[in-house]
Structure 1
Amino acid sequence: MSHPQAAPKKGMGLTTQIFIGLILGVIFGYAFPKYAVELKPVGDMFIRMIKMIVVPLVFSSLVMGIAGTGDFKKLGRLGAKTILWFEIATTLALIVGLVVVNVFQPGVGVNVTGGDASVAAAAANKSIDMTQMLVNIVPTNIVDAMGRGDMLQIILFSTFFGVAAAAMGAKGRPAVDMCISVAEIMFKFTWYVMKLAPIGVFALIAFTVGKFGLGMLIPLGKLIGSLYFALIAFVFLVLFSASFVIRVNFFHLLRALKEPILIAFSTASSEAALPIAMEKLEKFGVPKHIITFVLPTGYTFNLDGSTLYSALAVVFIAQVYGVPFDISQQILMVLTLMLSTKGIAAVPGASLIVIAGTAAAFGLPVEGIGIILGVDRILDMARTACNLIGNCVAAVVVARWEKELPDDVLQVAYAQSYED
């Protein structure tokens, strides 16, 4: 009589290692701030290693996915559904941010001294020209666009390249095969780099705590608490509800995405979590051509956490300075942010620029940004994680809408999420 073989013991999972790195980073940064600050280059190297994966991975997998459909009509339908969902999600994010900031009033009673006026002024002097932004979607030089990591330009070029390769038939096949090979290599590359994630996360968190200290959290604790509450409320009110409507178990999806969520939170970098999020979504059963279109586009048009933060921060500044900001002005501000928060992800410090521009447009003191700067890293971690979850839910929503994620595939994905 043969006995069933015992399953081999699994070592400590990557998620657990990253989480331990996060906790140890906080302790080290607090206990040895002088040495913790010196760890910044280690964290920066980890972020740069992941960023070097993003462009070849997005280009190759997008061409592979599009050449697989080779159909402009299908692509147009996919794009329309994606943009519609993005608009619904970001509008609801703005509303949640507005409700929370009015209920909790985190700016009331904050000491207005200590604002960094020079940074605030620099942010106010920058503005986002919507017409120019639309023109800039079209690259003049794709190598330059890839060098700068301009995701929208890369998406546009890859889309045309994929459709043209599919239209060429047998002649285009070698290029498509090469892209398939490159995509597979980049996923393996990601796996190697992710082995270093616990060290990278430890260094980044230790640097943040060492440089700014935990003491900075106390005076602005109400702002931090309000944003974290608003983001959690958005995730459960909007993203959980959307998952319920399309009959996808939201908690299974979160379980499948636990590693990219931890990476996004601890590095405060959307790009850092993108390769592993793409891999996890594919394991979850979302077709590759949907993932490669929705996720990179979402990092430009669907920054739910950053959008929510923009609405909350503008009203926070009004509250700090005691400037009357009635509900009609706030609704007008939401309409402004619905446009100004689109397509600004490639701009460094984009949230800061949007908040400064919106505050200036409504006659609010732009110096208020200086107050937020001290805790911006802590706020950025949460909104980046929310951006990631929002984009992954968007990919699942579009896949279900397109009837390309059937129930039987989901059942297998649920089983795998427990094994991982």
Structure 2
Amino acid sequence: MVPTPNPDVAPRRRDKTHYLYLAVIVAVVLGIIVGFAAPDFAKDLKSLGTGFVNLIKMMISPIIFCTIVLGIGSVAKAAKVGKVGLLALGYFLVMSTFALAIGLVVGNLLHPGSGLHLSPADAASAHKQATGSEGSVDFLLGIIPKTLVSAFTEGEVLQTLLVALLAGFALQKLGAKGDPIRRGIEHIQRLVFRILAMIMWAAPIGAFGAIAAVVGSTGWGALRSLLVIMLGFYATCLIFVFGVLGTVLWLGARVSIFKLLKYLGREFLLILSTSSSESALPRLIAKMEHLGVSKPVVGITVPTGYSFNLDGTAIYLTMATLFIASAQDKPLGLGEQISLLLFMIIAAKGAAGVSGAGIATLAGGLQSHRPELVDGVGFILGIDRFMSEARALTNFAGNAVATVLIGSWTKEFDRDRSELVFAGQAPFDEATLLDEHEPEPAKE
């Protein structure tokens, strides 16, 4: 018997991002073939990658403004719930620092990108613009825009960040009166991310041009460097999840990381197929409550963690930045690495699960600190999709661990219940539990 469709329920849209994933893979393979078969012709394809990077750069200012303004609002909201919110935010800050530190250590040990000697056409002029003869006072004064909107029109990322911070704190002070403005910015953010999603469909063209040009110039050295950073990134994520998160989870809650990850196995498969931890958000909320963490703790920790606990993204931004700098023979000093990556982590808040947000954040950070390195983003684009799964899986694992830890520290975690769940004596009821947490269908 064929069930009758309910006219009140909007049909779910089929996710088409996996087509983009496949297209990028095909484009990378074709770029490698063209790079080896016709190196002179391949070098001329560099403009395809540069064009895509310019499209991403176009979106940097609006993305940073919207995410920072709304992110500050999320921090204020989380802090208002008292002990749980403050504890969660403090934990997220510490773990993000750990993720940055591990990424820095591994990146500096591996030296990914060394020996490629990439030299973008506009590197000299960009470098002159970046360094110039300005002192620290002139640099700080340059962060202040001429007008409130000139930061957006001139593409100055640090100026945009300053305006976003001021707007975010002002929105906090408005309280309930600022809700219409907040909702308006949320609508603008949806529009901005929709535009970014459209731009990402040009990623195969950009990846093809960038990879072809680099392989045509450097040959097997490019493939070796790409393999080094990919394997290094995956290894770093594994070390972080099982070494750092596993140790903290056992010391803080006496819970095995292996049991927890096994319990969330279906969610990891879902993330692996979509390259986004956002797809498993409703399931994580439901499963954490089923595991024995109280509903208030889950309701505060999980959504906040999705914006502020991006461990995988921190590792990715660290290693990608070091890779791009090394590939262009412009290594970063330790001070530059820390300041640049802290900026990137701040700029990434609120953009979790959005396709292309990682590339946009990477380009934005380089544009703000070392503009001469931005063109290198086109090269990393070819393997970004390969690393997005590890990034999303690490973010998801970090949020699951955080939820159990916060529940244990606030005595809102039923350990006896969790043992029954891990032992399979209290199976997760998909039909009843997920119905409570599935988001309403989008109406467009």
Task: Give me the TM-score of the superposition, normalised by structure 1.
Answer: 0.60
CA drift at 1:221:
1.5
For 1:300-315, what aligned pairs fall within 5 Å after superposition? 300-315=307-322
Which residue identity does 2:382 align to in structure 1? Answer: G
Residues 126 and 357 in structure 1, CA contact (< 8 A), matched pair in contact too: no
Judge conservation of contact 1:108–1:319 (CA < 8 Å) in 2.
yes
Structure 1: unaligned runs, 5 residues or longer: 1-21, 35-71, 151-206
Task: Tell me: CA distance 1:292–1:222, structure 2 relative to 1, closer, same or farther (3 Å).
Answer: same
Does the CA contact (< 8 Å) of 1:262 and 1:385 recur in 2?
A: no
2:409 corresponds to 1:380 = no
Matched, 1:98 2:104: yes
Query: CA separation in 2, counterparts of 1:125 and 1:417?
Result: 57
Task: Decide which of 180, 184, 187 is 1:140's aligned counterpart.
Answer: 180
Which one-letter code corresponds to 2:231 in the other structure?
G
Question: What CA RMSD, in Å, does the superposition of the two structures yield over aligned residues?
Answer: 4.1
- Of residues 254, 258, 278, the one that matches 2:285 is 278
Count matched residues.
298
1:311/1:337 contact within 8 Å kept = no
The 8 Å contact of residues 103 and 315 in structure 2, kept in 1 or not, is answered as: yes
Structure 2 distance, partners of 1:112, 1:329, is 20
Within-5 A mapping of 1:24-43: none
Paired residues of 2:317 and 2:362 also in contact (CA < 8 A)? yes
Which of 228, 236, 240 lines up with 1:222 in the alignment?
Answer: 228
**Alpha-carbon shift at residue 345 of structure 1 (Å):** 3.4
Tell me which amino acid in the other structure corresponds to 1:375.
Answer: I
1:232 maps to 238
- Tell me by how many angstroms 1:284 deviates: 1.6
Q: Give, as a single letter, the amino acid of the residue that structure 2 aligns with 1:389.
A: A
Structure 2 residue aligned with 1:415, among 405, 423, 426?
423
Partner amino acid, structure 1, of 2:118 = V
Q: State the alpha-carbon separation in 2 of the partners of residues 76 and 356 from structure 1.
A: 36
- Structure 2: runs of 5+ lacking an equivalent: 1-17, 31-77, 124-151, 173-177, 191-202, 216-221, 429-444
Distance change (3 Å), C-alpha of 1:74 and 1:400:
farther
Aligned partner of 1:197 in structure 2 is none
State TM-score, norm by structure 2: 0.57
For residue 314 of structure 2, what is the amino acid of its counterpart?
Answer: T
Maintained 8 Å contact 1:114/1:370: no
The answer on whether the counterparts of 1:305 and 1:383 sit within 8 Å (CA) in structure 2 is yes
Match status 1:80 vs 2:94: no
Question: How far has the Cα of 1:126 moved from its partner?
Answer: 7.3
What does the per-residue CA deviation read over 1:32-83, in whole Å, with 9 as the maximum and x for residues that have no partner? x99xxxxxxxxxxxxxxxxxxxxxxxxxxxxxxxxxxxxx999211110110
Displacement of 1:294 in angstroms is 1.1
What letter corresponds to residue 292 of structure 1 in structure 2? G
Where does residue 195 of structure 1 map in the other structure?
A: none
Aligned: 1:243 with 2:241: no
Q: Distance in 1 between matches of 2:389 and 2:169?
A: 29
| Correspondence for 2:304 among 293, 297, 303 | 297
What CA distance in whole angstroms lies between the structure 2 residues aligned with 1:144 and 1:362?
30
1:70-118, Cα deviation, whole Å (9 max, x unpaired): xx99921111011011101111111111111111111113473899x9x
